[in-house]
Amino acid sequence: MADLTYIPEVALQADEAQTVPRPPLLVRFTHWTFTLSFFGLVVSGFAIILSHPHFYWGETGNILTPPLFSLPLPTMLGGPSGWGRSLHFQSAWLAVLSGLLYIVSGVLSKHFRRELMPAASDLSWSSIRNCVADHLHFKRSGLAAEEHYNVLQRLSYLGIVFVVFPFTILSGFAMSPSITSVFPWMVEFFGGHQTARTIHFFLANLLVLFLVVHVAMIVLAGFTSRMMAMITGRPAAPKETR
Amino acid sequence: MSNILGNSISRRKLITTGLAAAAGVAGLATAERVAKSYGLIPPDDGGIWGVGETLTYATQRMLMAHHSMAREFGRSEISKAIPVSGDPPTKGPYPEMLSSGFKGWRLPIDGLVARPSSFSVDQLKAMPVRSQITHQACEEGWSFIAEWHGVQLSDVLNLVGVSSKAKFVVVYAYDGVWDSLDLADAYHPQTFLTYALNGDDLSASHGAPLRLRVARQLGYKSVKFLSRITLVDSLKNVGDGKGSISPAYGYSWYAGI
């Protein structure tokens, strides 16, 4: 171990680490495996919907019952839902395994507590209102402040990781006849198989919306620098004009 | 100096990486052998979706090691109307059997059994009648609740005496569909050979005269128009070896999702 400290690059990195929070390797790794799985899930979810673009409320629903709403999509039978289902569940495995790795490492490394838990003082109504107002006025908070997540970022990341994703997974489980035979409460919680399917669809839309905002923010904050940070762990030199 | 140091690090790295890779491969191989011996590998474990299929099937088989029961409903929750997917066959012997009211129809059960037999609808109806009011979901997303009457598949299997070598129950239908169940699902208390739906004899569109009902899997596993059942120790030599006609159309053999 001791001989490593003589390698200049390593020493430099250690210095940087004390001033700028860098995404740890596991956060970066799971971020990209999760990105891959998320694209798989969205594409395949859409393919599955094509076989029956109607949504219902309650336990049952089919072409002989009135739908809650229908999507203006063609019905394509016997095609996309085949590979769609296979891609969906294989991607779901990658998503769940990446997610578990991320959460376990985030708890152990105190990533959630340090980087994502809002400070008690930031949770006041005025602090949140100021942050919202800054966003609405497209006011940037300056380079130093942007190295750390603000209260809105913290709340939305925590909400996505610990609320939206778990409920998306749960509503997916609720549609499985074998999983609900072991855990009937999963479907009873939603009030029925078709309600779970409809909520799964809404939550998926919310996740896609989050992705759009997330990418828009990355572009605003400096696409290259943020991408470098999430790939190599070192942000590119902050030379963007502001 | 730094060169020597660099070389020794890369060599050390190489060795540890190599060892880790070897351990990983050995671990995976062991996991596969153990999974195979416990019957946790689905017949369609090859190809690009094989990883997902295997993970899902193995996990669910372990979760459902004990006979977990699909949810049952009250009569008031039965769906008013049931959509039909898959029309009755118009070719082969089926149309004539249908018009004769399935008089000469018999269901042969053969393969790895002590007493290969065949059953008429009346013989099956004379056996202990079972019923279930369960939810059936199509892979497309729609669903309905219905009451099914029939015999428990396990009752019929016990009559013909299944060999200890048998691992799968293969079912064939008059519309060319074939599929298979592992023994966990074949012996499940909610796996029926059904002859009645919501109190009436099965109509042709719902699979007359006999339809499989597998309550813990999606609708396509509940094969209609049954023509034959056979017990095998391996699915390798049955059809294309993937356990069901479904993989040929892009759908999984295991439909518990």
**Which tokens sit at A136?**
């609405």
Query: Which of the 8 DSSP states describes residue B113?
Result: B
Tens digit of pLDDT for each residue in B122-144?
999 999 999 999 999 999 999 99
Residue A10 confidence class, pLDDT cut points 50, 70, 90? very low
- Asked whether residue B76 carries a pLDDT value surpassing 90, the answer given is yes
Least confident of A141-150, A177-186, B241-250: A141-150
Q: Which residues of B touch A89 (CB under 8 A)?
A: 52-53, 56, 257
**Domain boundaries, given as residue ranges, for chain A:** 22-54+81-116, 117-233
What pLDDT, on the 0 to 100 scale, is given for residue A141? 67
What pLDDT, on the 0 to 100 scale, is given for residue B106? 98
Residue B9 confidence class, pLDDT cut points 50, 70, 90? low
How far apart (Å, rounded) are the C-alpha atoms in residues A93 and A83? Answer: 15
Half-sphere exposure of B5 (CA within 13 A, CB side): 9
Residues in chain B: 257
Tally of helices (H runs) and strands (E runs) in chain A = 11, 2
Chain A residue at shortest CA distance from B146: A60
Tens digit of pLDDT for each residue in B137-182?
999 999 999 999 999 999 999 999 999 999 999 999 999 999 999 9
Preceding peptide of B209 cis, ω within 30°: yes
**Span B232-245, mean pLDDT?**
96
Instruction: Tell me if residue B93 falls in helix, strand or coil.
Output: coil
**Which neighbouring-strand residues pair with B232?**
B168
Look up the pTM and report it.
Answer: 0.88
**Which tokens sit at A177?**
């006849």
Q: Nearest by CB to A89, from B145, B249, B257: name it.
A: B257
Identify whether the C-beta of residue B234 lies closer than 8 Å to the C-beta of residue B223: no
Tens digit of pLDDT for each residue in A51-81?
999 999 999 999 999 999 999 999 988 778 9
Identify whether the C-beta of residue A56 lies closer than 8 Å to the C-beta of residue A194: yes
Say whether residue B145 is in contact with chain A using an 8 A CB cutoff: yes
- Asked whether residue A2 carries a pLDDT value surpassing 60, the answer given is no
The phi and psi torsions of B204 (rounded to 5 degrees) equal -55, -40
Identify whether the C-beta of residue B182 lies closer than 8 Å to the C-beta of residue B167: yes
Q: Nearest by CB to A82, from B144, B249, B257: name it.
A: B249
- Among candidates B60, B257, B57, which has minimal Cα distance to A84? B257
Q: Nearest by CB to A61, from B53, B142, B252: name it.
A: B142
Which DSSP string do the residues of B144-172 spell out, in sequence order? EEEEEEEEEHHHHHHHH-B-TT--EEEEE
CB contact under 8 A, A52 and B140: yes
CB contact under 8 A, B83 and A179: no
CB contact under 8 A, A86 and B82: no
What pLDDT, on the 0 to 100 scale, is given for residue B179? 98
Say whether residue B80 is in contact with chain A using an 8 A CB cutoff: yes
Least confident of A159-163, A166-170, A237-241, B66-70: A237-241
Tell me the helix, strand and coil percentages in chain B, rounded to 5: 35, 25, 45
Q: How many CB pairs under 8 A join A and B?
A: 118
What pLDDT, on the 0 to 100 scale, is given for residue A23? 78
How far apart (Å, rounded) are the C-alpha atoms in residues B137 and B144? Answer: 7
Least confident of A34-38, A206-210, B20-24, B207-211: B20-24
User: Which ipTM value was assigned to this complex?
Assistant: 0.89
How far apart (Å, rounded) are the C-alpha atoms in residues B257 and B240? Answer: 22
Say whether residue B215 is in contact with chain A using an 8 A CB cutoff: yes
- Tracing tokens 């042969």 back to the chain, one arrives at B108
Other beta carbons within 10 angstroms of residue B40's beta carbon come to 20
